[in-house]
Amino acid sequence: MQDPVQQPKPYLRRLGSDPSYWSMHLLQTWLVGGKETSGRVTLGEGLARKGTEPPPHTHTREDEAYYILEGELTFYVGGQTLEAAPGDFVWLPRGIEHTFELKTSQGRALVMFTPAGLEEAFKQLGEPAQSASLPPPSEEPPDVEQMLSK
């Protein structure tokens, strides 16, 4: 992570200028990350199919937010159940266990982490996508513990 006091420069990313990644059974396209925002924020688009949801987990460093573009999701956050559909915004503060379940066959959302940095772990765990489509279904659940240890 870069020095958060440093003033970031204005930034424009053109779609297709950087690869998307297949990581944690998701197609992830990182629109902006810590390198461009001096560590302040990461914003990406995630596409997932039903059955690839992460197990319950807790971020100790990052707040996480979703803006739902496609599909219906149920978020489980610290004992609360939040039903989300296109146009809904979901805020997941750090320190609170959370997960989500897709109610439709697939979902697509803008995903934000603050501060930035977690996008690099997703990239390390993944591989550049050969196409802008979901990876084939996996027989194994996502390894969230491995991701969080990066």
Give SS3 for 122. Answer: helix
Please check whether residue 18 lies inside any domain of the structure: no
Residue 56, domain member (yes or no) = yes
Q: Are 148 and 60 spatial neighbours (Cβ–Cβ below 8 Å)?
A: no
Question: Residue 149 CB: number of other CB atoms within 10 A?
Answer: 8
Look at residue 146 and tell me whether its pLDDT is greater than 80: no
Indicate whether 119 belongs to any domain. Answer: yes
Q: Which amino acid is at 32?
A: V
Q: What is the pLDDT of residues 51-79, one digit of tens each?
A: 989 899 999 999 999 999 999 999 999 99
On whether residue 12 sits in a domain, the answer given is no
In total, how many domains does the chain have? Answer: 1
Among residues 61, 89, 93, the alpha carbon closest in space to that of 77 is found at 93
In the beta sheet, which residues pair with residue 28? 21, 46
Which residues constitute the domain of residue 49?
A: 26-130+144-148
Look up the CATH number of the domain holding residue 67. Answer: 2.60.120.10
Distance between first and last Cα of the chain: 13
Tell the burial category of 117 from Cβ atoms under 10 Å away from its Cβ (0-12, 13-18, 19+).
middle
94, part of any domain:
yes
47 within some domain: yes
Helix runs in 1-143, H state only: 34-37, 118-125
Q: Indicate the pTM of the whole model.
A: 0.83
Please tell me the distance from the alpha carbon of residue 21 to that of residue 40, in angstroms, as a whole number: 21
Does the pLDDT at position 144 exceed 80? Answer: no
Closest CA to 3 of 140, 147, 89, 117: 117
Residue 1 lies in a domain: no
pLDDT digits (tens, 9 = 90+) for 5-28: 677 888 888 776 777 898 888 899
Render pLDDT for 29-56 as a digit per residue (tens, 0 to 9).
999 999 999 999 999 999 999 998 989 9
136 lies in a domain?
no
